[in-house]
Structure 1
Amino acid sequence: MTSLSKTPNFPMNAWYAAAYDVDVKRALLARTICNKKLVLYRQTDGTPVALEDACWHRLLPLSMGRLEGDTVVCGYHGLVFNSSGRCIEMPSQETLNPSACVRSYPVVEKHRLIWIWLGEASKADPATIPDFHWNEDPSWAGDGETIHAKCDYRLVVDNLMDLTHETFVHVTSLHQSEQAESPFEVTYDDKFVTISRWMHNVDAPPFWAVQLRKHNGWTGKVDRWQIIRFEAPCTVTIDVGVAPVGTGAREGDRSQGVNGYVLNTITPETDTTSHYIWAFCRNYRINEQSITQQFRQGVRSVFREDEMVVEAQQRAILDHPDREFYNLNIDAGALWARRFIDRMIQMETAIHSTVIPIRVAN
């Protein structure tokens, strides 16, 4: 049997970052994730909740209602739903319809983010939430924000998996001609795709030159590294930094350099929009809040340049529906990331499209 339905762009059996923890409050927050309309809020004890954002009765978004204790009151006819999605009160009747409920979703608060699972609830294992421990590790300091990107989330993944674009897109901040020519290594296992690139005895790009000079006064040549790790379907952590040339950074001693982690998770909103949640964390001068703010502003400016590129890509894709991407050697990481994503989608699609044959008596 041939299915006429479109192949989905994202798997459902995965943890997606719905928001930063500070964005989910004692108030109703409407958010779309993977084409599903959700309403998020915190209970009185601080526990986050995610419900389907459509009242069982007449489908008015529950986010247009009000929060009353740990329950949501529909803004149309006053039906009351508890944190499990069960209707516990109806207007003008004592007997409750047993089918009166909205779907609730597994939610976990971890690493300063609110993670949600939209697929089969029985498979929602909190141990598989991506590692963003740098966000709350006392040995690191950092901050970030959420970008609403008007593009398919996979375009952002592509962008992060190949940093040679820094030479051409980020001319005033991260530009370095050696980067586009430096060799890189691609490795993968059952869970991660890793791209490792080292640039030895080079000038530090403007962004890192300033940081290293402030850190220890170094203004000479550096060894620079970028180690990108992808975890399907949409999380990319990037270990980046520079150290004075020949001080042992590649061998593991980064004490004389400056090191940061760029944390990225790109949550699909729709097929052509996404919530890009990022943070930049560092392990030096961690008590100086002014540096944290400067980093956030600086990285935001860099990402704004990326945002313009991927959104222009998305418009071009919609304008040229019959065109396909061509690939270069530098696309190896992005290609492997897409294979991981496709494998997750294919596994779910195969399960849900299984057809049981009907036997017809002769």
Structure 2
Amino acid sequence: MTGARLSQQLRLPQADGRLLAYTPGPAARFEAPKTPLRSRVVYAAAHVVCDPLADNLAGTHLDWGATLAFRHYLWDLGLGVAEAMDTAQRGMGLDYKATRELIRHTLADARGRGARVVCGAGTDQLPPGAEVSLAEVEDAYLEQGGAIEAQGGGVVLMASRHLAAAATCADDYLRVYDRVLSQLKGPVVLHWLGEAFDPALRGYWGSADLDEATEICLNLIQHHAAKIDGVKLSLLSKEREVALRRRLPADVKMYSGDDFHYDELIFGDEEGYSHALLGIFDAVAPAASAAIGALDAGDHERYWRLLAPTVPLSRHIFGSPTYYYKTGIVFLAYLNGHQTHFRMVGGLENARSVLHLCELFVLADKAGLLRDPEEASARMRTFLALAGVS
């Protein structure tokens, strides 16, 4: 074994207490697109990099240089950026003051290079857990959405915990969205986030029965089709995504939010395909970019060869409890040198076990997503040493 390979060798702890000798393979070479991606509209929901020396339990403090550099990295790969979504720890540590600044900085940088970006508009300026009226929810949506549009950004209307708590029936949802969509310039992306991602959103659209909820959501989309660019569906059910996709108005896109089946859903079938707005595309950006480029070229075999190996990694990162997927996203960014530390807003780096992150390392390697295996191994070794693994 060469010296370089020896320097990469790790001893990874296993569930049975053993230490498994593991040496990552060579980095894959993903070709960045030379022209804009065109066969699908693709957004990566981007994570944020916290300031590791700040007290992130008393308000959010970001490392702006590293946070914005990562967005430029995604744009360089031809991907759009979905800003201030749940991947950015929206509702899990990122406060609204920092959210406003994040959106402002990203939109300014996007204008400077003509990059594609949409931004999440929610209701999180309202106190968490507070009992609020439907009118207050409407005003909160309009405040955030209007601010994004005033800066030239596209809006993603995020599912709202406040609305889920305040609404008593489907008509309450339709009333709120009707007013908001009528007043925003649009077109906007609707965001249906399932309870796997946020248990507080159970029963969204006014019913815990997903068939009924789908009809309510579809009714809204059909009524406001001119104001809706698309719908991002995050229910982790390819069957439901395909069924809703086939019933959308002709000019309304389906943006897959299914981090378990995105390869199949983006490729599509004889009746259509999904575009993408995915948190996992933060982690697998080089493979995603190259795969969409292969679709553009009509090279279906290459598409599957590039994207299919990323799915086991994604299913692991988004494993139950799904809402802790952000930890895996940031850990891979740390391994790949996009940030100098593995710290997160609100201490969320502790949300996943050492064993979970060891398996992530192996799966990322098998997908060719460790861009410098020697450096990734060194960082993994440091992480393991802090966990008491010699």
Greater helix share, structure number: 2
TM band (smaller chain): under 0.3
TM-score normalised according to structure 1 size: 0.27
In terms of Rg, which structure is larger? 1
TM-score normalised according to structure 2 size: 0.25
**Bigger RCO of structures 1 and 2 (CA < 8 A, at least 6 apart):** 2
